[in-house]
Homo-oligomer: A and B are copies of this chain.
Amino acid sequence: MDNKHIFTEKLRSSGLRPTKQRIEICKLLFNRKDTFHFSISDLKNISTKKISLATIYNTIHAFTRKGYLKEISINSDKTYFDTNTSDHHHFFDENKKKLIDLDDNNVGKIKIKKTLPGKKIKSVEILVRITNDN
């Protein structure tokens, strides 16, 4: 896994210096097959290297500004982020407090019939709350 070089390039090309903290965070976030939904504390917990909390916040915010992460709207005490930055929807498992992707093709076409003068639609997102069946 020599993604280090790839991440270094990615960071440089975004005007972010490739520090060891940022590269470590890149590995944690982007070295995976599936979409990753996480909170800051999740990220801190899975990191073996010790990165200060301030740096984690700084880095995640920088990545969000650069468009490498997306902030997800769920009413929670914590903010969630998503490595899938495309327009897509979510299940939110209220028991596990976990987000699960819901691709466009898993959702019928959404038609918003109401319009508001002087306003344009920026995004349309569905949140499907789920709980244990029993």
Which residues of chain A have a CB within 8 Å of any CB of chain B?
71-75, 79, 91, 93-94, 100, 102-103, 105-114, 116, 118-134
Tallying the copies of this chain within the complex gives 2
Residues of chain B within 8 A (CB-CB) of A132 are 118-120
Tell me whether A107 and B118 are in contact (CB under 8 A). Answer: no
Give bound CA distance, A28 to B131, whole Å.
33
CB distance from A112 to the nearest CB of B (A): 6
Residues of chain B within 8 A (CB-CB) of A125 are 126-129
Give bound CA distance, A124 to B112, whole Å.
15
Give bound CA distance, A18 to B114, whole Å.
39
Residue of B nearest to A107 (CB): B112
25 contacts between A and B (CB under 8 A): A72-B75, A91-B116, A94-B122, A100-B116, A102-B112, A102-B114, A106-B112, A106-B114, A107-B110, A107-B111, A108-B110, A110-B110, A110-B126, A112-B128, A118-B134, A119-B130, A119-B132, A119-B133, A120-B131, A120-B133, A122-B129, A122-B130, A124-B128, A125-B126, A125-B129
